[in-house]
Amino acid sequence: MRVVVKEVSKDFGGHKALDGVSFEVQPGAVFGLVGPNGAGKTTLLRTIMGLIEPSSGVVAVDGASPRDGHALRATMGYLADAQIYYPDFTVSETIRFYRATYPNWQNSRCQELCAGFGLPMGAKVKRLSRGQRAQLGIVLNLSYAPKLLLLDEPTAGLDPVVRRQFLALLMDEVAQNGTTVLISSHQLGDIERICDYVGILHQGKLLDVAKLEDLKRQVCTVQVVFEQSPPSDFWQQEWVISVKQHGRIYTVVAQGDREVLASYFAHFRPQALEFIDYRKLYVI
């Protein structure tokens, strides 16, 4: 499915959660949304899913609005960071509930996934661990072969084994069914194996969309130590994506050439400056 987002903004009271966001995702592509917590990733995914109406702008999935009908949304999957289920339902009851909702439900696929994860079918959802709840969400979303899959921080809190298992399943889904995927994370390293393109989201604005290899060259994290801190307007410049301070140590996510960035900091005579591995982008 082709996704088009054009000049989308979303206001919550006086807070602008999304600010003129525009991009396209082609059918069968995997698109990563990377940004710090509060950047607007969840709001954007919920808007694409049709769960939130934008204040302005247009979202189109295969040329139609996701808010226009159940038939379109039935071909879309959405896995939230904190997915809500009926807590007193067992795993089996939850699966039966979802199966009745989706006409394309594939029992054989569901059974295969449940067996692979070793899910306790008789256990109540409220008794499941975070990892098991994430596995249940994967089962529910992949069992009806969605054409578009929206994943909000799907690897957050998962142990390395479950994370690798999930990413392998996702890559298989794309390869076998041509599923279009939008996946968000606050760490680029979590999704670098699977994304064709990555968008950088910060304070509701989409700063850039690039192939992963290009992004590695364009964006970096810098740790810098100052004896005397730069003036506050130094951190308001366009190349600064985010800043976090611990005493005299600043961790900065920045956009631009490393030599040029180093020259900006040099004006304030840093006591130490280090460029950190790109995989740690947005951990702040």
pLDDT of residue 52 exceeding 90:
yes
- Under 8 Å CB-to-CB from 106, ≥6 apart: which residues? 143, 144, 145
CA distances from 135 to 12, 102, 167, 210 (A): 32, 19, 12, 30
Q: The domain that contains 233 carries what CATH number?
A: 3.30.70
Number of domains in the chain: 2
Q: What is the pLDDT of residues 132-163, one digit of tens each?
A: 888 899 899 999 989 999 999 887 777 788 78
238, 174: one domain: no
pLDDT value of residue 215: 75
171, 246: one domain: no
Q: Are strands 180-185 and 30-34 parallel, antiparallel or unpaired?
A: parallel
Strand (E) positions, 194-248? Answer: 197-202, 205-211, 219-225, 240-246
pLDDT value of residue 131: 83
246, 199: one domain: no
pLDDT value of residue 179: 92
Q: Which of 191, 214, 237 is the last residue of a domain?
A: 214
Phi, psi (5° rounding) for residue 111? -65, -40
- Under 8 Å CB-to-CB from 222, ≥6 apart: which residues? 250, 251, 252, 253, 254, 261, 265, 273, 274, 275, 276
58, 180: one domain: yes
pLDDT value of residue 257: 86
Q: The domain that contains 181 carries what CATH number?
A: 3.40.50.300
Range among 18-22, 35-39, 237-241, 258-262 with highest mean pLDDT value: 18-22
Q: Which residue has the tokens 């900065």?
A: 252
At 180, is the secondary structure helix, strand, or coil? strand
Phi, psi (5° rounding) for residue 147? -85, -25
Confidence of residue 278 (pLDDT cuts 50, 70, 90): low
42, 150: one domain: yes
Q: Within its chain, how far is the Cα of 202 from the centroid?
A: 13
Q: Could you tell me what percent of the chain has a pLDDT over 70?
A: 95
19, 56: one domain: yes
Confidence of residue 56 (pLDDT cuts 50, 70, 90): very high
pLDDT value of residue 279: 55
Q: What is the pLDDT of residues 169-213, one digit of tens each?
A: 888 888 888 899 999 987 676 677 788 899 988 889 998 888 877
Tokens of 2: 């082709």
Distance CA 203, CA 20 (A): 11
pLDDT value of residue 155: 78
Confidence of residue 69 (pLDDT cuts 50, 70, 90): confident
pLDDT value of residue 277: 63
Distance CA 105, CA 201 (A): 34
132, 38: one domain: yes
The arithmetic mean of pLDDT across residues 25-41, rounded, is 90
The arithmetic mean of pLDDT across residues 14-37, rounded, is 92
pLDDT value of residue 109: 92
Spatial CA neighbour of 178 closest among 64, 279, 28: 28
Q: Which of 214, 242, 260 is the last residue of a domain?
A: 214
95, 235: one domain: no
Residue type for position 257: D
pTM, rounded to two decimals: 0.80
Q: Which of 175, 196, 214 is the last residue of a domain?
A: 214
Distance CA 131, CA 126 (A): 12
Q: Any idea how long the chain is? A: 284
233, 204: one domain: no
pLDDT value of residue 80: 87
pLDDT value of residue 281: 53
Q: Where are the alpha helices (DSSP H) in 118-257?
A: 130-142, 160-177, 188-191, 212-218
Q: What is the pLDDT of residues 206-241, one digit of tens each?
A: 988 888 777 777 778 899 999 888 998 898 888 887
Confidence of residue 283 (pLDDT cuts 50, 70, 90): very low
Q: Which residue has the tokens 């999957």?
A: 77
At 262, is the secondary structure helix, strand, or coil? helix
Return the H-helix or E-strand segment holding 49: helix 41-49
CA-only gyration radius of the chain, Å: 21
Which residue range forms the structural domain that includes residue 54? 3-214
